[in-house]
Amino acid sequence: MSEARPPSFHLTVTKREPAVRLLHPVTGLEPLSWSEDHRLAVCTGGNVSVLEQRCDIQSSGPELSLHRTCVPAPARTCVLRIGPLKDVEQCRAKFARSKDPVVSQRFMLDRVLNPEGKALPPLQGYKYACWSPVGCDGNGRCLLAVLTLDNRLTISANFDGLQWKQLADLTEMYGERLAQSNYVMTEADKAADLEDFAEFERRHTMQTPVRMEWSGICTTQEVLENNTCRDVSTVLLAVLFESGDVAVWQFQLPIKDRDSIISCSTIVSGVESPSVLAWWEYEHSNRKMSGLIIGSALGPVKIIPVNLKAVKGYFTLRQPVILWQETDRLPVHSIKCVPLYHPYQKCSCSLVVAARGSYVFWCLLLISKAGLNVHNSHVTGLHSLPIVSMAVDRQNGTIYTCSTDGKVQQLSPIFTNVALKFEHQLINLSDMFGAIKSHGIGISPFGAYLACVTSEGMNNGVHPVNKNFQVNFMALKTFEEAAAQLLETSSQNLFRQVDLTDLVRWKVLKDKIIPQFLMDALDKKIEGGPLYFWRFRLFLLRIWYQSFKKKSSDVVWKPNPKESKVSKTEEVIEGEVGEGAEVSPSKTLRDSAEPDGDCSPAEEGLQEIQQKIDAAEAHLIREHMKHVLGEVYLHTGITEYTTIPTRGVCAYLMANRDSEDRTAQVLTGHVEKKMNKQTFPEYCSLCKEVLPFTDSKKALCPNGHLWPR
């Protein structure tokens, strides 16, 4: 739950490198989507390009570290299943040759009814992509749901960091479910003849996806046969169709394949011309409520209840709630829902924002003793052109909107006694990237970076002949803001906050110093605090050490040239000898490379930093060892595959007798009494030899296999 921040009078935006060029033009209404595990999905005409942000502590370059993969496009065109194949082909031939121009032209020009479209260009690309919450795949990361322009909805996962694997084709599975029910929602309904054009069209619209969105993870407890309880985690995926129906898929975590699907239920929303949906999740008095916010291309916005009978502890609305009723023909393009804390009412609330044309519609939902209070209005005067993309910083509720002319507006919500007001500031992308046309924006999970997809704009009133699409990055926070957020965070996980740590890394590399205020704040937090602050300190020291290294000019992926018979070091020494330099035969090559006499001030500084790094690593190693020993002592059941070098760990902890670590002494004594004369050594994974515990950082087996601990 985040609280709306006070108004800021100045917004600092800094351009970051590199700008990533795309191989294909962007497609879809919202081409950018940023996941909670720091992966950016870009919908293009050929694939979904995925850029993963990584904070590389081994690199001394100031640029962003991005790992690029892609979800390839399907090899065949998606054809919706609406009946027996022979009957469908006969109907298509009949409608294509129909003498009624209303039927024939509508059939020939509609890519849903006529997916092959022989007279039309091929329909390639992606319509929309959205990320699941963290913890949905086998590695505890996010899954990607993608919707192609030919209406194929699939779920993909990336397990090895390189290749994307398709887990389920929901379009095909939903078509099978509709075929089993004879394409009706209830048993009382009767399906019409497929040769009727209205029925032919209805069967397509009822399974043509418009948007899909993931819910939060639902955790419940399941009672087993031995009366013990275990946590069961599920997640929901809501799919909105052109007919206004919503299919809610329930998955058991982790999602491995189509067998992870628990159920699928269809909700009739009654919304005409639906365009977008979003999950409404609200927590009030320790009760979690949920619903679906659906927007229409005609203007209305409403919340429909979602009855989660299979998920205990979650509630929904009794009846739909209309947020905007007027059919004013302003299409709803994007909807975002942000949980906030109301400082005047002293309770949680939900802020729903929607892009409608060039305006931003907002609605504040608050549950009180009187019931559900709804306050709504519009923010006008932001853009002269329609809003093409909208992003939300869920940490503080800040909203970002973008139009095609390259103007981005930042909206900061400010609570009042009555409802809400917004402070807005302009970010002109043309000031940083020149004449451009923007197609979409996305914001990193902790609000440190803003990504935008751009192409060349008009130059002297002339449109460019060829358009090159690229993804640009901008820093929205200063170093001081990022450091303060890392110190006060509740997640205490550096991996989850890669965007913030990258800003800190950039500052330390640029200035070659850790600011004193940050080290003082860390020293105060470390005293009696969690190990997170020790890891943060070690991260800063490693970056500081890396800042003094010269940037290598070698390309990482480029293979080394074939080495000559004479090594480079020998060539250098021979050159020095040829110029008259004397090299003692008793002096080794390592000695000749080391400088004689005292070290320079720079080398002394590096040695001092290295000593601090070693001290931080030693402290973390000891704390982790005590945690492992605590698990051994508290759990009496030792499994067959337990490979904890218990005696080696105890010996390492007790090696320093001068240490006043009372916890380690007591824990070691208990463990040794429990083990008696037993040993639990580690084994080499290749040759099954016993690994001696001689080093806390690596293990070397007798056959020479080296394993980092």
Structure confidence by residue, pLDDT tens digits, 324-345: 999 999 999 999 999 998 888 8
**3-state secondary structure (DSSP) of residue 469:** coil
* Confidence at residue 679, expressed as pLDDT on a 0 to 100 scale: 62
66 contacts: CB under 8 Å, gap ≥ 6: 18, 20, 51, 52, 53, 54
Q: What is the average per-residue pLDDT within 170-195?
A: 86
Strands (E), 47-143: 47-54, 65-72, 126-131
* Confidence at residue 583, expressed as pLDDT on a 0 to 100 scale: 39
On the question of pLDDT at 411 being above 50, the answer is yes
Residue 683 in tokens: 């084994």
pLDDT tens by residue, 428-442: 999 999 889 999 999
Pairing of strands 287-296, 314-316: parallel
Q: Which residues of 69-92 are buried (b: 16+ CB within 10 A; e: fewer)?
A: bbbebeeebbbbbbbeeeebeebb
> In whole numbers, what is the pLDDT of the chain averaged over residues?
84
pLDDT tens by residue, 458-477: 888 888 888 899 999 999 99
* Confidence at residue 442, expressed as pLDDT on a 0 to 100 scale: 96
* Confidence at residue 544, expressed as pLDDT on a 0 to 100 scale: 92
Q: What is the average per-residue pLDDT within 262-267?
A: 91
Identify which of 701, 634, 630 has the alpha carbon closest to the alpha carbon of residue 663: 630
DSSP calls for 376-400:
EEEE-SS-SS-EEEEEEETTTTEEE
Task: Specify the pTM.
Answer: 0.86
590: amino acid identity, one letter? R
pLDDT band at 115 (very low <50, low <70, confident <90, very high): confident
Using an 8 Å Cβ cutoff, are 454 and 433 in contact?
yes
pLDDT band at 385 (very low <50, low <70, confident <90, very high): very high
CA 407 to chain centre: 25
Using an 8 Å Cβ cutoff, are 413 and 351 in contact?
yes
On the question of pLDDT at 230 being above 90, the answer is no
* Confidence at residue 326, expressed as pLDDT on a 0 to 100 scale: 92
On the question of pLDDT at 366 being above 80, the answer is yes
* Confidence at residue 676, expressed as pLDDT on a 0 to 100 scale: 62
pLDDT tens by residue, 584-606: 433 433 343 344 445 667 678 78
**Window from 81-95, 111-125, 646-660 with minimum mean pLDDT:** 646-660
* Confidence at residue 213, expressed as pLDDT on a 0 to 100 scale: 96
On the question of pLDDT at 347 being above 90, the answer is no
pLDDT tens by residue, 534-570: 999 999 999 999 888 766 555 555 666 655 444 443 4
Q: How many CA atoms lie within 13 A of 503 on its CB side?
A: 26
Distance CA 344, CA 340 (A): 12
Helices (H), 328-370: none
Distance CA 330, CA 357 (A): 6
* Confidence at residue 674, expressed as pLDDT on a 0 to 100 scale: 64
* Confidence at residue 308, expressed as pLDDT on a 0 to 100 scale: 65
Task: Report percent pLDDT > 90 for the chain.
Answer: 48
Identify which of 475, 480, 340 has the alpha carbon closest to the alpha carbon of residue 53: 475
* Confidence at residue 492, expressed as pLDDT on a 0 to 100 scale: 84
- Containing H/E element for 336? strand 332-342
Distance CA 503, CA 515 (A): 14
Distance CA 582, CA 590 (A): 16
pLDDT tens by residue, 269-289: 989 999 999 999 888 777 788
Q: Which residue has 């993309």 as its token pair?
A: 389
Using an 8 Å Cβ cutoff, are 474 and 432 in contact?
yes
CA distances (Å), origin 587, targets 527, 590, 591, 595: 48, 8, 6, 13
Helices (H), 477-531: 479-488, 498-511, 516-526
First to last CA, the chain: 38
**Window from 21-30, 44-53, 626-635 with minimum mean pLDDT:** 626-635
Q: Is the N-terminal amide bond of 708 cis, ω within 30° of 0?
A: no
Task: Report percent pLDDT > 70 for the chain.
Answer: 84
Q: Which residue has 């080499």 as its token pair?
A: 684
Phi first, then psi: give them for residue 524, nearest 5 degrees.
-70, -40
Using an 8 Å Cβ cutoff, are 353 and 327 in contact?
no
The 8 Å CB, 24+ separation contacts for 87-91 are 87/194, 88/194, 90/195, 91/194, 91/195, 91/200
User: What is the total residue count of the chain?
Assistant: 709
pLDDT tens by residue, 471-522: 999 999 999 999 999 999 888 889 899 999 999 999 999 999 999 999 999 9
**3-state secondary structure (DSSP) of residue 497:** helix
On the question of pLDDT at 579 being above 50, the answer is no
- Containing H/E element for 202? helix 197-205
C-beta atoms surrounding 425 within 10 Å: 15
